[in-house]
Structure 1
Amino acid sequence: MAPGSIIQELVSEQNTRSPTKTKSNLSFILNKPYDVQFAERPIPKISGTHDVLVAVNYTGICGSDVHYWEHGRIGHFVVEEPMVLGHESAGTVVDVGSAVRELAPGDRVALEPGYPCRRCIDCLAGRYNLCPDMVFAATPPHDGTLTGFWVAPSDFCYKLPTNVTLQEGALIEPLAVAVHIVQQARVRPGATVVVMGAGPIGLLCAAVAKSFGAVKVVSVDIVQSKLDLATELAATHTYCFQRNSAEENANALLAQCNLGKGADVVIDASGVEACIQTGLHVVKMGGTYVQGGMGKADITFPIMALCQKEVTVRGSFRYGPGDYQLAIELVANGAVNVKKLITGVFDFTQAEDAFKKVKEGQVIKILISGPNEHINGSLNAGIGENIRPTLDRVSEIEDG
C-alpha cells in the first residue's frame, strides 16, 4: 500500500469512530497551568528528504510534562503559547522522505525527541545533547508528541526489534537518559553503585548499572514500595532514607549495605538537596559522583568531603550518540525489563486524568495511547500488540 493511502485510511477510519476520535491529528495541548484542551491539528507534512512521518502509538508522562502542566514553566523555558505536551514516545512509520533508506511504512520506532543543529562545536564533538540550538519536544516554544502524527529526522527514529513492543518502545527515552548517566559514571564490572532516588530514572539507572557489571547496586528512596520494585528490577540492596542529617544517613547506609569506606559510584537521580549531600558522604575516596536529577537551582553541599576525597563529579543531561541504540539493545536482550515500570495505560481522551494520576505520586510510569492506536492493527499486522487501554486497567494493576 502506498504511504499516502495509508494516511488516507488512518484518517478515513478514524472519522468513522465516536465523536471523541473523529480528529485526524487530535493533540493534547497545554494553554497555561492546569488549562489543557484537545484540539485538531493538521497532519504534519514531510518537508525534508530525510524525514519520516510517524503515527504515535504510546507516550509516557515525564516529570517535566507534569511540571509544565502545574507551573507553565521550567527555569527560563516558559509556556507563552499553547503547546502540545509529551516527549517519551514510540510509533509506526506511515511515510518517508525520498532519501530515507533504513525505514519504511509499517516499521515500529522509538522516537528520540530532540534535534540538534548538527553544525556547532558541541554537535561536531559528539555532544549533540549540549547543542545550544536544540529543538526538543514539549520544551517551549516547541510542540510535543502527545498527538496523532509526528515528523522527525529518520536518524532520530530507531527501529524496534520484533521482540520489543511499542509500549516498551515508549520507555526507551527514559532508559536512554539512564544509559547516559551510567556512561557518565564510567561504571565497570565489579563496581559498587548507590543510586539516590527510585523514580523511573533512578530505577533505570540501577538496572543499567547492574547490566554494566556492577556487583552491588543500592537503591535509596523514602517510599518503601519503590524500593521493593527496585529490588525486583535490579537492586541488590536498598536503603530507606531517614529524616536525619546527611552524615547520619550516609553512615547508616554504608553500614546497612556493607559498603565499607564508600561506594565506587554514587548517582543522584532525585535532585533533592538532602540526597545530594548524603551521596557525597557515601562516595569513596577517589570515587565518582554523577548528578542526574534536577531540583532547586542552587543548593548547599559538603564541599570539604568532595575536595578531601578527590571525588570526580560529572553532570548528565539527556542523552547523546549511541545511547538510544544501547537502550534498545538492553531491552531486546532482556538485560533491562522496562515493562515492570508501567503502572497503567490511559486512553488518549483520558490524558488529563493520566496527568492527575501521576501528580498523586503513587505510580512509576503511566503511558497514554495515541489517538490512532485503535486502528494500528492494520499497520502492525503480526506484531500481536492490540491492547485497549482503559482506566479500569489502571485500577486492576493497582489493586493487584
Structure 2
Amino acid sequence: MATLPDATKPVNATEHVQTSHPNPSLQVTADHQIKMVEAPVQEPGPGDVLLHIKATGVCGSDIHFWKTGRIGSLVVEGDCILGHEAAGVVLKCGEGVTTLRVGDRVAVEPGVPCERCFLCREGRYNLCDDVKFAGVYPYHGTLQRYKVHPAKWLYKIPENVSFAEAALLEPLSVVLHGVKTGGLSLGRPALICGAGPIGLIALAAARASGAHPIVITDLEPKRLAFAKDFVPECVTYQVDRQLSSEENAREVRKLYGEGEYEAPQTVLECTGVESSVVLAAFAVRRGGVVCVIGVGRDIMNNVPFMHVSLAEIDLRFINRYRDTWPAGIACLSGGILDLKKLVTHEFPLEKALDALNVCSDLSNGSIKVQIVDDVDAQI
C-alpha cells in the first residue's frame, strides 16, 4: 500500500517493524472521505521512538479536514492519518535516545519544528513555517496504534495523570498560550466566548488564574449548562441569534454590573466565528485585550475597526503553543486543573469512524470525544 511520509520520516522510508497487533488507522482523503486503513509500522530512526498510542482526542480541526478538506492554507491533498491530541507508551527507542526508556508513559507534542529558522532560534517555534504537524497533510497523525515521533517532543507523565488526561494536554496547551497572550489578572473580570472544549478549558484556567467575575457565552444551552456544572462560579450567557453582535455584547456587559471598570478586562475568544469576535470587541472594556484563540474563516469583513481603534482595544492572536507541556502536566498532576469531566465519549480505535461521526454532530451532546486503545501492543 502506498503511504505518505510520517512527520519524522523521509518520503522513501521503507523500514518497517513487526508488531504483535495490526495497525488500524483513521485516514482522511482529498475527496472528503474518512476510512479505516491498515497502516505500516515504521522503525524509529535516530532520535525517534516508536509509541503505542493509548488515547487520542478528536479535535475540531479533524472535522474541518474531513468536511472541508482544508483549514486556511493547510489543504488535504491525499490520504492522511488524522489525530494530534495524544498520549501513549514507548515501545522502542531509536539510536541516540537517552531521555526515554521502553515502558515510559508520555504525552505527545504533535508539532516538529525545523529548529533552523530565525523563529525557532528565537524560541518561537510555534510560528515555524516548516513545522511537521501530526495529522496535517502530508504528516500522519496519532489515530493509529503505532506512531513514530521524536523523543524531544515527548514528555513523561506521572502516574497520577491518566492517558485520557494526558491527551488533553494538547488543547490545554492552546489555552495556556492564550492565557499568557491575553494576560488574565487576579481579581479582574474576564469573558470566555464559546463553551466548546477549548472554551471550557479556558474557563477552568481563568478561574484558576483568579480572574473574577467570569462570564462564558455560547449559542447552545446544553453546553452552557455543562459550563455551569464544570465551573459553578461562572455566569453563563446564551447568545441571542435575533440580536446583533453589538447588542449581545451590551447584554453581556450588564452581567458584570455598572460602570466601565466592571466590563471584562480580558476576553478569550475561543470560537473563531466572526460574529463572536465582533461580540468580544464590543464587550471588552476600553483599553482591554481580546485574544482570539479560535480558528475561523480566512477573511473577516465585519470586524469593527474604528471601535477597536478608538477604544485602543488590543486585538491579539495565537498560533498553537510553545513550551507548554511541562506547565500543563504540572496543572494536572498538581490538582490546579481537573479536566476529566470534559471527556464525555470514548471509542475503541477500531470504531474511530463512529467517534468522528458523533463529534461532528452537536446534537449528540459531546464535549470531548476520545479514541482509546487498550490492547497489549508489543514488538
TM-score, normalised with respect to structure 1 = 0.85
Aligned 8 A contact 2:199 2:270 in 1: yes
Aligned 8 A contact 1:89 1:169 in 2: yes
Partner of 1:367: 370
Partner of 1:397: none
Aligned 8 A contact 1:342 1:367 in 2: yes
Which of the numbers 140, 144, 156 marks the counterpart of 2:141? 144
1:69 equivalent to 2:66? Answer yes
Once the two structures are superposed, what CA deviation does each residue of 1:340-395 show, in whole Å capped at 9, x if it has no partner?
A: 1111101111111111101111311101113xx2226x99xxxxxxxxxxxxxxxx
Determine helix, strand or coil for the equivalent of 1:145. Answer: coil
Which of the numbers 27, 43, 46 marks the counterpart of 1:45? 43
Q: CA 1:150/1:273 → structure 2, altered by over 3 Å: closer, same or farther? A: same
Partner of 2:247: 248
Whole-angstrom distance in 2 between the partners of 1:46 and 1:157: 14
Provide structure 2 residue ranges, at least 5 long, that are not aligned to the other structure.
1-16
Alpha carbon RMSD of aligned pairs, Å? 1.8
1:283 equivalent to 2:281? Answer no
Whole-angstrom distance in 2 between the partners of 1:278 and 1:251: 9
Matches within 5 A, 1:1-400: 11-12=19-20, 14=21, 23=22, 25-48=23-46, 50-234=47-231, 236-243=234-241, 244-258=243-257, 260-261=259-260, 262-299=263-300, 300-321=302-323, 323-361=324-362, 362-370=365-373, 373-375=374-376
The alpha-carbon deviation at position 189 of structure 1 amounts to: 1.6
Aligned 8 A contact 1:290 1:313 in 2: yes
Aligned 8 A contact 2:72 2:297 in 1: no
In structure 2, give the amino acid aligned to 1:269. Answer: C
Aligned 8 A contact 2:24 2:350 in 1: no
The percentage of counterpart residues that share the same residue type is 36
The alpha-carbon deviation at position 259 of structure 1 amounts to: 6.6
Once the two structures are superposed, what CA deviation does each residue of 1:174-228 show, in whole Å capped at 9, x if it has no partner?
A: 1111111111111122221101101011111111122222122211101112112
Whole-angstrom distance in 2 between the partners of 1:158 and 1:216: 34
The alpha-carbon deviation at position 72 of structure 1 amounts to: 2.0
Determine helix, strand or coil for the equivalent of 2:98. Answer: coil
The alpha-carbon deviation at position 33 of structure 1 amounts to: 4.2
Whole-angstrom distance in 2 between the partners of 1:109 and 1:196: 31
Aligned 8 A contact 1:345 1:368 in 2: yes
Whole-angstrom distance in 1 between the partners of 2:73 and 2:181: 26
In structure 2, give the amino acid aligned to 1:27. Answer: S
Aligned 8 A contact 1:233 1:337 in 2: no
Determine helix, strand or coil for the equivalent of 1:352. Answer: helix
Once the two structures are superposed, what CA deviation does each residue of 1:246-285 show, in whole Å capped at 9, x if it has no partner?
A: 2211111111232742211011111111111111111112
The alpha-carbon deviation at position 36 of structure 1 amounts to: 2.6
Whole-angstrom distance in 2 between the partners of 1:259 and 1:207: 25
Whole-angstrom distance in 1 between the partners of 2:85 and 2:131: 17
In structure 2, give the amino acid aligned to 1:238. Answer: T
Whole-angstrom distance in 1 between the partners of 2:79 and 2:368: 25
Q: CA 1:45/1:212 → structure 2, altered by over 3 Å: closer, same or farther? A: same
Whole-angstrom distance in 2 between the partners of 1:119 and 1:34: 34
Whole-angstrom distance in 2 between the partners of 1:375 and 1:170: 19
Determine helix, strand or coil for the equivalent of 1:32. Answer: coil
Displacement over 6 Å in runs of 4+: none
The alpha-carbon deviation at position 78 of structure 1 amounts to: 2.0
Determine helix, strand or coil for the equivalent of 1:285. Answer: coil
Provide structure 1 residue ranges, at least 5 long, that are not aligned to the other structure.
1-6, 15-22, 380-400
The alpha-carbon deviation at position 131 of structure 1 amounts to: 0.2
Q: CA 1:207/1:74 → structure 2, altered by over 3 Å: closer, same or farther? A: same
Deviates more, 1:228-237 or 1:337-346: 228-237
Once the two structures are superposed, what CA deviation does each residue of 1:17-75 show, in whole Å capped at 9, x if it has no partner?
A: xxxxxx2x221122234523222222111111x22211101111101101111122222
Whole-angstrom distance in 1 between the partners of 2:185 and 2:40: 48
Whole-angstrom distance in 2 between the partners of 1:356 and 1:152: 27
The alpha-carbon deviation at position 80 of structure 1 amounts to: 1.8
The alpha-carbon deviation at position 293 of structure 1 amounts to: 0.9
Count of residues in Structure 1 that have an aligned counterpart in Structure 2: 356
Determine helix, strand or coil for the equivalent of 1:346. Answer: strand
> When you count helix as a share of all residues, which structure comes out higher?
1
Aligned 8 A contact 1:345 1:369 in 2: yes
